[in-house]
Amino acid sequence: MADAAFLALTVITIGSAIAALELRSLIYGSIALMGTLGGIAGFFFLLDSPFVALFQLAVYVGSIAVLILFTVMLVKRELIFKAIEDKRRKFAGIGLMLIVMVALGAVFLDSGIKTITTDDPPVDFRDIGTDFVTYYWPALILMGLILAGSVTGALVLAKREDVENDQRTS
Amino acid sequence: MTSELVDFTLVSVALLGIGIYGLAVKRNFIRMLFAVEIIINAANLNLVAFGRFLPHSGGQTLALFSIAIAAAEVAVGLSLIIVAYRMYQNVDIADFRSLKG
């Protein structure tokens, strides 16, 4: 049964990743990106990692995808539907994609990864919580500071300079 | 669980290839951000898959860190898009060349 779910998730994830890059409208593209991110969350469920899957759903599908949608809506209407791409590079890009896929895929298929299977029970999410507050606590604090700094930086960057103070308050 | 580690890595390789194609071909700033997101998700999938099959909690922990940092990256990237769009009225990266010598 897991195999059918795996195949379905693979089709959804890869199909919507291609759609996110190739659909003409940026709005539909960002909705397709949501499909990719949700598909990855499904893979996390299949890998017995419900905590990471829910984190992925909350952070990626819930906030990042909506943030991208709102940014797309700020862009001019004709730019949303205009395909801006290097025509000359299209075939080179497809070739590069195929080379990466074939080369890395051959390396993985030829390596010992194929023989790795597991019957061990999945990692308990309580262990992850324990890891966070014991071993990784400096990294956790640093991550919080980086997040706060980057969000503040993003707000400062996006602030309009040309609006005068009196206009802003009125 | 009947799917094996190599299946998840192959999906991840496919997503990486699609992301590289997007970065190489597209000139739309927003589409390039999509491609970067797809590549980051391919990496996260690998982390969680290897963490499950080893099995070790480090994979999931690192994936959680990666997701949080990616959120910060998207916030900064989107604000850069807004600033660049306000300056050039376009999202084509070929137009953003004021730093070009």
Choose the closest CB to A75 out of B57, B80, B91: B91
Q: How many CB pairs under 8 A join A and B?
A: 237
Please state the ipTM of this predicted complex. 0.91
Among chain B residues, CA nearest to A120? B55
| Torsion over CA: A120, A121, A123, A126 (sign) | negative
CATH class of B5-91: mainly alpha
What domain range is A159 assigned to?
123-170
A95 occurs within a structural domain: no
Q: Are A65 and A140 found together in one domain?
A: no
Residues of A in contact with B71 (CB under 8 A): 59-60, 63-64, 147
User: What does the pLDDT read at residue A40?
Assistant: 95
Residue tagged 């809506």 (tokens): A73
Residues of A in contact with B57 (CB under 8 A): 123, 127-128, 131
Q: Are A76 and A5 found together in one domain?
A: yes
Do the beta carbons of residue B34 and residue B4 sit within 8 Å? Answer: no
Q: Are A69 and A6 found together in one domain?
A: yes
Do the beta carbons of residue A13 and residue B15 sit within 8 Å? Answer: yes
Q: Are A2 and A71 found together in one domain?
A: yes
Fill in the DSSP letter of residue A114: G
Among A84, A111, A133, give the residue marking a domain's end: A84
Q: Does residue B37 carry a pLDDT above 90?
A: yes
Note which residues in 101-140 of chain A have CB less than 8 A from chain B: 101, 104-105, 108-109, 113-114, 116-118, 120-123, 125, 127-128, 131-132, 136, 139
The whole-chain average pLDDT of chain B stands at: 89
User: What does the pLDDT read at residue B99?
Assistant: 67
User: What does the pLDDT read at residue A1?
Assistant: 47
Q: Are A1 and A74 found together in one domain?
A: yes
Q: Are A77 and A129 found together in one domain?
A: no
Please report how many Cα atoms fall inside a 13 Å half-sphere around the Cα of residue A55, on the Cβ side.
22
- Residue A74, chain B, CB below 8 Å: the answer is yes
Among A84, A112, A134, give the residue marking a domain's end: A84
Q: What is the pLDDT of residues B59-91, one digit of tens each?
A: 999 999 999 999 999 999 999 888 888 888 888
- How many separate domains does chain A show? 2
The whole-chain average pLDDT of chain A stands at: 87
Q: pTM here?
A: 0.90
